[in-house]
């Protein structure tokens, strides 16, 4: 279950987005999308940190549904 | 109360014991070899209290034990020992002590330290510990190496998961340490949730090493992807930790594939287990705090990303709005410049056309005027010069005429002189005479003979005479 | 027109026009037309930036609002 | 004539005439004719420039009016 | 005669006569005739200049009148 | 005789006579005749010059009279 | 005889006689004759010269009298 989105994967993706925004290599066209994704990843990690396994599973199920890929 | 029984008061017994001890040990001192455990040092009074023990060299089991203390001279000797050897007087050192035996009615038996042999530096415990460590390194090169004072094991070379949330806890069921650990985790102020699986075992008594090893193997066999394994042992005397210096425990910890965090609950020593584990901490509470801090670090990183993204996004917009604005003003200004330049260009061309057209006409007119005035003056000069030429020629002709006639007259004059000079009339005036014979002028005397009649004609006179004589005349009188 | 235009493309076209006007390589004959196009592109970019900013701010507000403290 | 004339072409012709006049390489015989042509071209260019300016200013005014601050 | 004469041709002929007179390479026999011709040419050129000037001034006056400031 | 005589020819003949007299290459027999001829030529040249001058002056006077100033 | 005699011929004959007399190859009897001839020629030439001079002076006087000044 965590294999789909681990803390590590979330962290790396987040770091990548932060770097891109930092480097101004994100175009205006996708900025909102990138920030949205970052926000989801942060919320995911924080929620997961502070939730029991059951709660986490629920969140992941929701996120998987809405994740843009 | 049993009044008829023969008894004595404890104080009487203690006095008798004291008498015998004093009789046998009073004033006597002994050099004794043993290990120090449960050592405490009261700094303010400079008292040392400890248990002096002897261990079986093979089983590591304690075979003799007595309380001991040092103060006064004894403490000074210990201080000297520490200074000389650099070895702190502490647990697990094997020492050679000069002691006296004392018995006190209240405090009981005790050895009083009088001196310590500084040459006997390392305790047997430490020797054994070192031997165990050497053996671990020697026999398990695949997952234990030593570099300097550091031990590198498979376990402590692992990386912690970025978040430690699922934990296998190895502790004793009754351990206060386990409770401390759990409590600390559960009451963390950040709201982090943990999933802790208990693996109970006996974590004291050096003979229970095999049980601990079995628990570690059980964690491995569970196949559960724990983020970390925590080994906790809280409370108890120093001797209770010998379990964690066990070879097999150290080996199992060193090779374990999940990072092991220890919180063995001692303050003064580091066990072989600690040395082999990933993250040794001093106490169960510290172990829990370590995990919380680890997760907290992760969350802080997340928040840092969030903060950076927020700040950068806002900068991003002001930067892009600024870029747009600067392009905007660039376009506005330069468009106006283009129009202004073209306007200037037209005005300039207009000026050039107006001014230069007029100046072309002006210049042409000046040329014409110059030419006209040249034409007005030059022909007059030509005519004047010609007139002068003519006048000149007329003068010349007049002058040359006069000269010409004068010259002609002078040429004639020359001939007049010559003819006058040669005229016979003029010759006769100079005394010459003309001879005529038979009225013929003679210039050759051969025709004149003596007796002939000749006429001599002079300038004004004619004489007729007869020749009487005829001689030759050399004429030298007139040679010049 | 703007529907299929990206900010990136619009900005690049705008920068190109700005360069041409700066170099005075735009003839008077087409200047008005170029300025008109630039004006449209600027409006497009501003609108796009503004909407992106609003969106991003909304995401950020949500992010900060939902931040567990 | 002016209908098919571009500003560019008019300006170039004008500049050519101005050069010729400036060099006094125009003969008196055609001077009046050249000046007449120049005058026509100047009027044409000014008109064209004026209309371009008006148009550009209108666009710029709109741009500044609609500028989000 | 002057109708088909250009200013240029007239001026050149005039200059030629002026040169000949200047060099005194004109014989007295034709001097009067040459001066007469020169006089005619000068009058022609002046007339032509005058008319050109008038025409140019008229155009320039129009130009200055319509000059945008 | 003078009608077909040019100034140029007259002047040359005159100069020739002057030279001959100067060189004394004229015999006394024809001297009087030559001087007579010279006298006639001088009169001819002077007359011609005079008339040319008058004519030129007239032309110039006309020219200057008509000169636009 | 003198009527057909030119000054030129007379002068030449005179020069011839003078040359002969100077050569002294002339006998006294011939001399007297030559001198007589020479005397006649001299008188002729002097007369001719005189008359020519008179004539020339008359022409010159006329020339100067009629000279336009």
Least confident span in B101-115, B322-336, B339-353, G20-34: G20-34
Which of B424, B422, B421 lies closest to B433 in space, CA to CA? B424
Determine the straight-line distance between the first and last CA of chain B, rounded to whole angstroms: 225
Q: How confident is the model at residue F12 (pLDDT cuts 50, 70, 90)?
A: very high
Start-end of H helices in D1-69: 7-22, 28-66
Q: Is 90 exceeded by the pLDDT of residue B260?
A: yes
Torsions phi, psi for B99 (to 5 deg): -130, 155
Predicted local confidence at residue E1, as pLDDT = 47
Q: How confident is the model at residue A60 (pLDDT cuts 50, 70, 90)?
A: low
Closest CB to D42 among B346, B363, B364: B346
Q: CA of G36, closest CA in chain B: separation in Å? A: 8
Answer yes or no: do D59 and C42 touch at CB < 8 A: no
Helix axes E7-22, B284-422, angle to 10 degrees: 40
- What is the rounded CA–CA span in Å between residue D33 and residue D42? 14
pLDDT in tens, chain E (69 residues): 445 789 999 999 999 999 999 888 888 889 999 999 999 999 999 999 999 999 999 988 887 766 554
More confident residue, G4 or D42: D42
Torsion, Cα F23 F24 F26 F28, to 10 degrees, reads 170
Q: CA of D27, closest CA in chain C: separation in Å? A: 32
Q: Neighbours of G (≥3 Cβ pairs closer than 8 A)? A: B, F
- What is the rounded CA–CA span in Å between residue B454 and residue B435? 7
Predicted local confidence at residue A2, as pLDDT = 39
Q: Kindly list the residues from chain C whose CB atom is less than 8 angstroms away from the CB atom of residue D49.
A: 28
Closest CB to E32 among F52, F66, F67: F52
Average pLDDT over residues B101-105: 87
Predicted local confidence at residue B254, as pLDDT = 94
With CA atoms as reference, the chain C residue closest to B329 would be: C18
Predicted local confidence at residue E63, as pLDDT = 74
What is the per-residue pLDDT across B51-76, written as a single tens digit (0 to 9) for each? 999 988 888 788 999 999 998 888 99
Answer yes or no: do B407 and F24 touch at CB < 8 A: yes
What is the per-residue pLDDT across G7-66, written as a single tens digit (0 to 9) for each? 999 999 998 888 888 776 677 777 878 888 888 999 999 999 999 999 988 988 887 776
Average pLDDT over residues A19-40: 90
Of the residues B327, B348, B360, B361, the best mutation for testing chain D's interface (the one with the most D CB atoms within 10 Å of its CB) is B360
Predicted local confidence at residue A66, as pLDDT = 57
Using CB atoms within 10 A of its CB, is residue B287 exposed (0-12), middle (13-18) or buried (19+)?
buried
Q: CA of C3, closest CA in chain B: separation in Å? A: 20
What is the per-residue pLDDT across B136-160, written as a single tens digit (0 to 9) for each? 999 999 999 998 888 999 999 999 9
Predicted local confidence at residue G2, as pLDDT = 45
Highest mean pLDDT (candidates B238-252, B305-319, D53-67): B305-319
Find the chain B residues whose C-beta atoms sit closer than 8 A to any C-beta of C. 191, 303, 306, 310, 313, 317, 320-321, 323-324, 327-328, 330-331, 334-335, 337-339, 341-342
| Both tokens assigned to G30 | 């011939």
| Both tokens assigned to B11 | 């104080």
Q: Kindly list the residues from chain B whose CB atom is less than 8 angstroms away from the CB atom of residue G21.
A: 418-419, 422
Of the residues E2, E41, E68, E69, the best mutation for testing chain D's interface (the one with the most D CB atoms within 10 Å of its CB) is E68
Q: Is 90 exceeded by the pLDDT of residue D66?
A: no
Q: How confident is the model at residue B248 (pLDDT cuts 50, 70, 90)?
A: very high
Average pLDDT over residues B389-417: 89
Q: Is 70 exceeded by the pLDDT of residue G68?
A: no
Please count the other Cβ atoms lying within 10 Å of the Cβ belonging to residue B99. Answer: 25
Least confident span in B200-214, B323-337, D44-58: B200-214
What is the per-residue pLDDT across C2-29, written as a single tens digit (0 to 9) for each? 457 899 999 999 999 999 999 988 889 9
Q: How confident is the model at residue B355 (pLDDT cuts 50, 70, 90)?
A: confident
Find the chain F residues whose C-beta atoms sit closer than 8 A to any C-beta of G. 27-29, 31-32, 35-36, 39, 42-43, 46, 50
Provide the 3-class DSSP secondary structure of residue B33: strand
Predicted local confidence at residue E36, as pLDDT = 92
Predicted local confidence at residue B5, as pLDDT = 73
With CA atoms as reference, the chain C residue closest to A42 would be: C63
Please give the share of chain B, as a percent, with pLDDT higher than 90: 34
Which of B263, B258, B249 lies closest to B221 in space, CA to CA? B258
Query: Is the C-alpha dihedral spanning B206, B208, B214, B219 positive or negative?
Result: negative
Closest CB to G53 among B397, B405, B423: B405
Contacts of G27 (CB under 8 A, 6+ apart): B443
More confident residue, F60 or B260: B260
- What is the rounded CA–CA span in Å between residue C3 and residue C48? 11
User: Please, what is the average pLDDT of chain C?
Assistant: 86
- What is the rounded CA–CA span in Å between residue B128 and residue F2? 164
Average pLDDT over residues B417-446: 80
Size of interface E-F (CB pairs under 8 A): 32
Which of B199, B272, B201, B263 lies closest to B235 in space, CA to CA? B263
Provide the whole-model pTM.
0.61
What is the per-residue pLDDT across D22-56, written as a single tens digit (0 to 9) for each? 888 888 899 999 999 999 999 999 999 999 999 99
Closest CB to B418 among G18, G45, G64: G18
Answer yes or no: do F32 and G55 touch at CB < 8 A: yes
Strands of B462-466's sheet in order across: B440-442, B434-437, B453-457, B462-466
Average pLDDT over residues A30-48: 91
Can you name the residues that pair with B34 across neighbouring β-strands?
Answer: B95
Least confident span in B105-109, B465-469, D1-5: D1-5
Average pLDDT over residues B401-405: 88
What is the per-residue pLDDT across C25-50, written as a single tens digit (0 to 9) for each? 888 999 999 999 999 999 999 999 99
Torsions phi, psi for B157 (to 5 deg): -90, -5
What is the per-residue pLDDT across B30-47, written as a single tens digit (0 to 9) for each? 999 888 889 998 888 889
């Amino acid at each position: 279950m965590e294999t789909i989105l681990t803390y590590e994967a979330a962290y790396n993706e987040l770091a990548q987005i932060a770097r891109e925004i930092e480097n101004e290599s994100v175009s205006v066209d996708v900025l909102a999308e990138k920030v949205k994704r970052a926000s989801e990843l942060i919320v995911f990690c924080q929620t997961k940190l502070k939730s029991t396994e059951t709660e986490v599973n629920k969140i992941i199920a929701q996120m998987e549904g809405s994740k843009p890929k | 109360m049993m009044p008829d029984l023969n008894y004595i008061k404890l104080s009487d017994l203690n006095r008798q014991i004291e008498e015998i001890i004093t009789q046998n040990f009073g004033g006597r001192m002994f050099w004794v070899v043993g290990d120090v455990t449960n050592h405490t040092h009261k700094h303010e009074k400079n008292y040392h209290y400890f248990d002096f023990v002897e261990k079986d060299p093979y089983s590591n089991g304690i075979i003799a034990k007595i309380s001991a203390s040092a103060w006064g001279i004894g403490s000074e000797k210990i201080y000297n020992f520490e200074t000389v050897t650099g070895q702190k007087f502490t647990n697990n050192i094997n020492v050679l002590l000069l002691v006296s035996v004392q018995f006190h009615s209240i405090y009981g038996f005790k050895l009083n330290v009088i001196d310590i042999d500084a040459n006997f530096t390392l305790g047997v415990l430490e020797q054994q510990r070192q031997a165990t460590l050497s053996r671990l390194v020697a026999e398990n090169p695949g997952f234990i190496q030593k570099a300097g004072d550091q031990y590198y094991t498979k376990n402590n070379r692992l990386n912690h998961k970025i978040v430690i949330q699922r934990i296998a806890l190895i502790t004793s069921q009754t351990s206060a340490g386990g409770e401390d650990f759990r409590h600390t985790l559960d009451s963390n102020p950040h709201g982090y949730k943990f999933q802790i699986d208990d693996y109970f075992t006996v974590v004291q008594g050096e003979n229970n090493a095999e049980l601990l090893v079995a628990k570690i193997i059980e964690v491995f066999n569970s196949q559960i992807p724990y983020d970390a394994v925590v080994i906790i042992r809280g409370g108890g005397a120093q001797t209770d930790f010998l379990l964690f210096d066990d070879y097999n425990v150290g080996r199992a910890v060193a090779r374990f594939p999940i990072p092991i965090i220890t919180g063995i609950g001692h303050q003064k020593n580091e066990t072989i287990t600690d040395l082999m584990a990933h993250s040794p901490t001093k106490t169960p509470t510290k172990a829990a705090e370590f995990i919380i801090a680890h997760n907290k670090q992760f969350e802080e990183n997340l928040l840092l990303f969030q903060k950076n993204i927020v700040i950068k996004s806002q900068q991003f917009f002001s930067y892009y709005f600024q870029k747009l604005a600067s392009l905007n003003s660039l376009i506005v200004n330069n468009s106006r410049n283009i129009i202004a330049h073209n306007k200037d260009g037209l005005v300039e061309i207009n000026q050039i056309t107006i001014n230069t057209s007029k100046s072309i006409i002006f210049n042409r007119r000046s040329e014409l005027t110059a030419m006209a005035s040249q034409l007005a003056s030059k022909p007059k000069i030509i005519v004047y010069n010609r007139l002068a030429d003519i006048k000149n020629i007329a003068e010349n002709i007049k002058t040359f005429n006069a000269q010409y006639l004068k010259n002609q007259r002078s040429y004639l004059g020359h001939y007049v002189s010559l003819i006058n000079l040669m005229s016979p009339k003029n010759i006769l005036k100079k005394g010459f005479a003309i001879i005529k014979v038979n009225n013929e002028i003679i210039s050759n005397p051969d025709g004149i003979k003596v007796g002939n009649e000749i006429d001599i004609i002079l300038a004004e006179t004619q004489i007729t005479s007869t020749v009487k004589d005829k001689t030759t005349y050399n004429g030298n009188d007139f040679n010049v």
